């Protein structure tokens, strides 16, 4: 069936470390987004990236649509990067709903 899988489920880093979060999806997509959920529950848009590579400061993302995965890179992590990172996709083929993965919970310690 249609699936969005994120890995790892949990990640603990020391401040300054780099990390890679992965999102696998089961079919071709019209939309792929990465979000950061802060401790107050707000979902912050990081990237809209159905294909290709984008960078925004210490964060970058790559989606390889033909191989059905996306990667989120966090470099020189800071304690404020802590929270949950979600991948969400909208599949092609007539599905008009944005489906979320289960998330990666990141804790960055000083």
Partner 1 sequence: DGGITQSPKYLFRKEGQNVTLSCEQNLNHDAMYWYRQDPGQGLRLIYYSQIVNDFQKGDIAEGYSVSREKKESFPLTVTSAQKNPTAFYLCASSIRAGAEAFFGQGTRLTVV
Site string for partner 1, 21-50 (x = CB under 8 A): ---------xx-x-x----xxxx-x--x--
Of the ranges 20-28, 58-66, 70-78, 90-98, which one interacts with partner 1 (CB under 8 A)?
90-98
Residue with tokens 């008009």: 96
Assign 3-class secondary structure to 64-108.
Answer: EHHHCEEEEEECCCCHHHCEEEEEEEEECCCCCCEEECCCEEEEE
Residue with tokens 């400061």: 57
59 binds partner 1 (CB under 8 A): no
3 binds partner 1 (CB under 8 A): no
Instruction: Report in angstroms how near the CB of residue 91 gets to partner 1 at its nearest.
Output: 10
The tally of CA atoms less than 13 A away on the side-chain side of residue 108 is 17
Q: Which residues bind partner 1 (CB under 8 A)?
A: 30-31, 33, 35, 40-43, 45, 48, 86, 88, 90, 96-103
């Amino acid at each position: 069936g249609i699936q969005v899988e994120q890995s790892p489920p949990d990640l603990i880093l020391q401040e300054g470390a780099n990390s890679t979060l992965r999102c696998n999806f089961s079919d071709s997509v019209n939309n792929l987004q990465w979000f950061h959920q802060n401790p107050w529950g707000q979902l912050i848009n990081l990237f809209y990236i159905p294909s290709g590579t984008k960078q925004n400061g210490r964060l970058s993302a790559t989606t390889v649509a033909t191989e059905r995965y996306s990667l989120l890179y966090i470099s020189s992590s800071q304690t404020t990067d802590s929270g949950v990172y979600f991948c969400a996709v909208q599949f092609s083929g007539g599905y008009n709903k944005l489906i979320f993965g289960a998330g990666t919970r990141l804790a960055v310690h000083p």
